[in-house]
Amino acid sequence: MTPRKNVNSAAVRRRKQACSRTGGTKNSPTAETVEGDLRLLLGALEHFDVEIRTEDCLSEGGLVRMQHKLILFLNPTADPLTRRQVCLNALRHFDTDTFHVPPRLRTLLGEKEWD
């Protein structure tokens, strides 16, 4: 019996972690899927009167409160999966039971889909 070739296990672990973080399958989600998710997420956040700003910043972005306004900062240099994750994290701060959230977003949020 010949020994198996050493598989780059670190790369496999990173891919699995990215899939579990982003809600994707073993294969990376397509750019169109991620962009579609971003459109849905931004629409949902706007429903909650969150102002969306795309500005260069030192971090990936995030949700902040300035006086009585909620603002989501997105770093345009971050990759689309990271921007999607920032939007998902922001949307988790709101009660999504008060309006229709598409099943795709509920899946990404880790919620059970409505029957």
Q: What's the pLDDT tens digit per position in 48-106?
A: 999 999 988 888 999 999 999 999 999 999 999 999 999 999 999 998 888 888 888 98
Q: What residue type is 103 in one-letter code?
A: P
Evaluate if residue 115 carries a pLDDT over 70: no
Residue 6 binned pLDDT confidence (cut-offs 50, 70, 90): very low
Q: What is the 3-state secondary structure (H, E, C) of 45-98?
A: HHHCCEEEEECCCCCCEEEEEECCEEEEEECCCCCHHHHHHHHHHHHCCCCHHH
pLDDT at 89: 94
The residue-averaged pLDDT of 3-25 equals: 51
pLDDT at 64: 94
DSSP letters, 2-34, are: PPPPPP-HHHHHHHHHHHHHHT--SSPPPHHHH
